[in-house]
Chains A and B, each alone.
Chain A
């Protein structure tokens, strides 16, 4: 179906089914009127306010902390240092042991004797007001004995490098290898390269980003006796509860976690934050409710970052353009500590580098490396955007080397529609799709032939504004679940999701989901699922979530899993409700269960028109419980947990047309079109919105955003003045469409949509810019494609990024080195 038209005109007037309808969201009413429940809105009697003293230096030993002046400041109730909480603060958990010998240096919430990045908390202040707490920060005097900052991941990974954690033997936490030959999913990679006609090698920099959710992180903890209630702006109330209990020793059943309205996350709130642990410790110590809300500058500096990889990619092919092998070596800059899935995020990409192509051979190596920077962790896509960027960029480079059209090369190597399900060289079984149809539709949508013609004209006339067209034909693994698969990867948790359906005596329905939303529209979409399944009105359904006392079981929201896993659990629960109700209906209608039909919310006896009972009547009947079968309990409520056996694999074709002003370096997206296949679409309005938002973030990586550190390890993009979250004026209009290939792995047939736009778009944009100026000798441009970088690449050669990053983030040209595993290159040097 097409969702490019005005959504106001797409809803049919008399819907047969809810699924597929562009229902306006239930969530909106309170958000557009300001009747919101953001954590920072909360005020409790006697509530105190916490502020954090943060390190101004990247790497230092703490030799002394004098808090005496702060303790005496007006309104200050308590001041605590790392020494004060050293015995009780535990370590921020790392949930993913990527290799058995992965080294975790431990992550104190308050630094005890050493700081390892700018912004690391070294002391906390508790005061009667936020202003008093903030004022007292200035009064804490910390003596730092500075150590050399460790900023360049390529340098940090070398023997003899300055160490981030002096008690470790190196900065490398782990070395992870996936070799398809050894795994039995492919042939020998070295042989494939040795036999290849053509090898192209590139070094790509996937820069450090900041999730930059709009609502700053905030937490309130209220102690009641020996129990605690924590409200937090989190994506993961359930995981946070388990982890906070394990970290602090507070028994899990004495801790309730609530995620009220949460203002975006994008992976940035998929974390057990030091500040959440500290608020809990303060509330326990003082016996008073305490609130902490970060400033934006704190958020950019201390909340986890994303991406930050140096990628060495080698691709092998024959002269006809048949790919023969792929070799990937990654250095992942993990920053100073391992947070929840810092270590696992780049490893998740291991399985996605082959993309949609039929590589016979594949080898992946990854080093997770510590630096003295803010920890990296999940950010929308988490490992998969990095992989997609690399494969979609190197396919273009191979096409250039072979003199082939980049789309023709892709077509020659991608999995054909009739080959699904297809097991890839990385061992994943791709479920369904049709890359060719999506591509043809995307070409139509963007007006491809006209754009190519315009490109030719501009090239021939030497127009200072050149036009380029870039592709990204991508897939991703979504629905982060299969618990057994996660177990085989040594992830610390399962991936199931849970749901409960409660049939209320008045005929209304409560749906309890363990998947906690923060903008995705679960309340609307889950209502659509249940309305169709149970035949009850959309309006009569309330979706409850985000409170561990209400939604007692759940694994929360990330990895495009909510609908695919959480929604599937809801459908399963609805089926159980129907099964239970059937027994009651048979009893009350004095019929055999086998003779009952359930349709449109009513049980009726087959062949007996006019008989029947609505499911709401059955809900009332089991509530009064005056008359029900003897062999059942008087309830038709049901629980279900869903754990799929495979991931789902959305795919799509994204095409970007880009104007590059060769005189100023200014780039402008002229047109952007994409066709995504996310399986069954429950709500096209929400699906389109998710695609749009993902596109904005993926395009922003290509064009605008980068977390930059200076030579001393200071974050120089520490406010929204410097960290360029794009505005409406910075982004183009998107033309979107969908193909639908149902996912076989869940009862809805959905594949997941939350990350698609973000994963797909970045390489399409960069490929487009390069397509515009490659004839001028440009081979690469470092992201983000700032005017300076583009201008330098066009006029001075190189990738334009060296000066801009010299002595800053790492990855300067002088440190560029050939990958240890693959140096052959006929397709151009590094």
Chain B
């Protein structure tokens, strides 16, 4: 067992983990952060995406021990029902989710995308989230959501009308 300490959604946790433990399993099983989910075993689906020191990572490709000393943000740490993150709000308003299983990862990936590219075109959004799979929406409303969030986060929501 190895001792790891990490700050997750603003709270510091110190635990003993088996070195082989994946970050996503540590988050879910040891810390109870079950908002982050596991959708595959080959790092294709992106459902487990979290931010590690501000960068989006698939938490199934990171060992818990690699996150020792790091700052981790999950879907549970970006906003609340009363104070949604603009990306959360946009997913709701644009119907960017159906079953919601891919949603935590999709939102975390989208926030990262908008950090890199604050005003992405439709094609840029599609390329930017291609590491996250959704089986329900056909992606069009996710694209709309990301573009809405981009407008809101850059303060241009009043000047730009509907796209797509």
Contacts and interface: CB of A to CB of B under 8 A. Distances in A.
Contacts of B102: 214
Interface in A399-427: none
Given A8-B162, A725-B135, A731-B138, A38 B97 contact: no
A728 B100 contact: no
Contact of B101 (A5, A29, A38, A757): A38
B136 A693 contact: yes
Contacts of B143: 728
Chain B interface size, as a band, is: 35 or more
B41 A32 contact: no
A261 B100 contact: yes
B14 interface: no
Interface string B73-94: 0111001110010001001111
Nearest to B37: A38
A154 B91 CA distance: 47
Contact of A32 (B91, B122, B144, B163): B91
Interface string B35-60: 11111111011010000000000000
Nearest to A268: B135
B42 A721 contact: yes
Interface string A4-31: 0111110000000000000011011111
B133 A727 contact: yes
A720 B130 CA distance: 13
Interface string A618-630: 0000000000000
B97 A32 contact: yes
B39 A32 contact: no
A144 interface: no
Given A215-B99, A728-B139, A32 B84 contact: yes
Most buried by B among A6, A24, A214: A214
Interface of B is mostly: loop
A435 interface: no
Which of B40, B94, B126 has its CB near the most chain A CB atoms (within 10 A)? B40
Contacts of B47: 214
B38 A696 contact: no
Contacts of B135: 212-214, 264, 266, 693, 696-697, 725
Interface in A698-754: 719-721, 725, 727-731, 733-734
B42 A719 contact: yes
B125 A264 contact: no
Nearest to A42: B34
A203 interface: no
Contacts of A447: none
A681 interface: no
A692 interface: yes
A31 B79 CA distance: 12
Contact of B93 (A8, A693, A728): A8
Contacts of B80: 33
Nearest to A757: B138
Given A28-B100, A693-B98, A729 B127 contact: yes
B76 A33 contact: yes
B161 interface: yes
B131 interface: yes
A813 to B, nearest CB: 32
Nearest to A262: B99
Given A38-B37, A689-B137, A733-B140, A29 B45 contact: no
Interface in B8-40: 18, 28, 33-40
B94 A8 contact: yes
A40 B27 CA distance: 13
Nearest to B164: A733
B95 interface: yes
Contacts of A295: 41
Given A32-B88, A33-B35, A214-B45, A692 B99 contact: no
A32 B95 contact: no
B141 interface: yes
B107 A32 contact: yes
Contact of A693 (B33, B38, B39, B137): B137
A90 B28 CA distance: 35
Given A692-B138, A728-B126, A720 B101 contact: no
A519 B88 CA distance: 17
A685 interface: yes
Contacts of A35: 35, 76, 81
Nearest to A725: B133
Residue picked from A35, A520, A521, A694, most chain B C-beta under 10 Å:
A35
Most chain B beta-carbon neighbours within 10 Å: one of A34, A35, A519, A521:
A34
A215 B136 CA distance: 11
Contacts of B81: 29-30, 33, 35
A261 B97 CA distance: 13
Nearest to B77: A34
Given A8-B94, A519-B98, A33 B79 contact: yes
A41 interface: yes
B6 interface: no
Contacts of B111: none
A826 interface: no
Interface in A664-686: 685-686
A254 B139 CA distance: 42
Contact of B100 (A8, A297, A519, A697): A519
B150 interface: no
Contact of B103 (A32, A728, A730): A32
Contact of B92 (A24, A686, A692): A24
Contacts of A33: 35, 75-76, 79-81, 84, 88
Nearest to B34: A41
Contacts of A24: 92-93, 95
24 contacts: A6-B163, A25-B92, A31-B103, A32-B75, A32-B92, A32-B97, A36-B35, A38-B101, A214-B45, A214-B135, A262-B99, A264-B101, A264-B136, A518-B99, A519-B136, A686-B95, A689-B136, A693-B137, A696-B137, A720-B133, A729-B126, A733-B140, A733-B164, A734-B138
Closest 9 CB pairs of A and B: A34-B35, A6-B162, A31-B100, A263-B101, A519-B99, A692-B138, A696-B138, A720-B44, A34-B75
Given A297-B41, A734-B138, 18 more contacts: A25-B95, A32-B107, A34-B33, A34-B75, A38-B101, A40-B37, A213-B135, A263-B37, A520-B98, A686-B95, A689-B95, A689-B137, A693-B138, A696-B139, A720-B40, A721-B42, A727-B132, A729-B126
